[in-house]
Structure 1
Amino acid sequence: MMSKRADLFNGMEKSVIILDGGLGTTLESISKTQIANTPLWSAEALSKDPEAIVAAHLAYLQAGAQIIETSTYQCSLDTFQRAGYNIDTAKQLMHRAISLAQKARSIFNTQRSAMQQLIAQPPIRICLSLGPFGASLSPTQEFEGFYPPPYGPRGYSTESMNSNYFDEDSEEEKAIQALAAFHFERLMMFAEDKGTWSCIDMIAFETVPLAREAIAIRRTMAKFEDENRDNGMGKAWWISFVLPEGRCPQMTDTDGERLTASELVWASLSPNLLGGREDEDVGVPDGFGINCTSVEYLPRIVDEMGLACMKIEREERPFLVLYPNGGDEYDRVRGVWKTGDREKRGEWATRLAGVVERVVGCRGCIWGGVVVGGCCRCSAEQIAELVNNM
Structure 2
Amino acid sequence: MDASLVCRYQCAFETFAAAGHSREDAVRIMRKSVKLAHEARRRFWEGGQAADREKRAVKIALSMGPFGATLSPAQEFDGLYPPPYGPKGYTTDSEDRNMNAFPDTVEGQRLAAESIEKLAEFHFGRLQVFADDAETWEMIDLVAFETVPLSREIKAIRRAVGKLQRELAGRGTETKRWWVSTVWPDGRCPEERRPGGDRVSPREVVHALLDEDGAGTFQGTPRPWGIGINCTSLDHLAPLLIEFTNATCSFSSSASQADGLACGLSEWRRYVRVGDGWALRYWEFVKTAVEDGSVWSGVVVGGCCRTGPAEIEALADRVRDKVSTSSDLK
Q: Does 1:269 align with 2:210?
A: yes
Deviation larger for 174-183 or 184-193: 184-193
Per-residue deviation, residues 171-191 of structure 1 (Å, max 9, x unmatched):
110110010010011110111
Partner secondary structure for residue 169 of structure 2:
coil
Cα distance change, pair 272–220 in 1 and its aligned pair in 2 (3 A)? same
Distance 2:135 2:41 in 1: 15
Q: Does 1:206 align with 2:146?
A: yes
Query: Which of 284, 287, 296 pairs up with 1:367?
Result: 296
Counting only pairs closer than 5 Å after superposition, residues 89-104 of structure 1 correspond to structure 2 as 89-104=25-40
Q: Does 1:153 align with 2:93?
A: no
Higher RCO by CA contacts (8 Å cutoff, separation 6 or greater): 1
Distance 1:190 1:253 in 2: 36
Q: Does 1:348 align with 2:278?
A: yes
Tell me how far 1:380 sits from its aligned partner. Answer: 2.1
Match of 1:79 in 2: 15
Q: List runs of 5+ in structure 2 lacking aligned partners.
A: 320-330
Match of 2:261 in 1: 320
Q: Give the percent of matched residue pairs that are identical in Structure 1 and Structure 2.
A: 38
Aligned residues of 1:241 and 1:289 also touching (Cα < 8 A): yes
Match of 2:194 in 1: 253
Counting only pairs closer than 5 Å after superposition, residues 53-72 of structure 1 correspond to structure 2 as 66-72=2-8
Counting only pairs closer than 5 Å after superposition, residues 5-16 of structure 1 correspond to structure 2 as none
Match of 2:181 in 1: 240
Match of 1:124 in 2: 58
Match of 1:162 in 2: 98
Distance 1:74 1:214 in 2: 17
Q: Does 1:108 align with 2:108?
A: no
CA RMSD of aligned residues (A): 1.9
Cα distance change, pair 308–385 in 1 and its aligned pair in 2 (3 A)? same
Distance 1:221 1:261 in 2: 22
Q: List runs of 5+ in structure 1 lacking aligned partners.
A: 1-16, 18-65, 330-339
Per-residue deviation, residues 274-294 of structure 1 (Å, max 9, x unmatched):
xx4387221110110112222
Amino acid at match of 1:369: G
Distance 2:56 2:280 in 1: 23
Tell me how far 1:346 sits from its aligned partner. Answer: 5.4
Per-residue deviation, residues 298-339 of structure 1 (Å, max 9, x unmatched):
1110100100011113535211000112x236xxxxxxxxxx
Aligned length: 310
Runs of at least 4 residues off by over 6 Å: none
Match of 2:325 in 1: none
Match of 1:49 in 2: none
Amino acid at match of 1:228: L
Tell me how far 1:256 sits from its aligned partner. Answer: 3.3
Amino acid at match of 1:143: F
Match of 1:299 in 2: 238
Query: Which of 138, 141, 144 pairs up with 2:75?
Result: 141
Tell me how far 1:376 sits from its aligned partner. Answer: 1.4
Cα distance change, pair 81–279 in 1 and its aligned pair in 2 (3 A)? closer
Aligned residues of 1:206 and 1:240 also touching (Cα < 8 A): yes
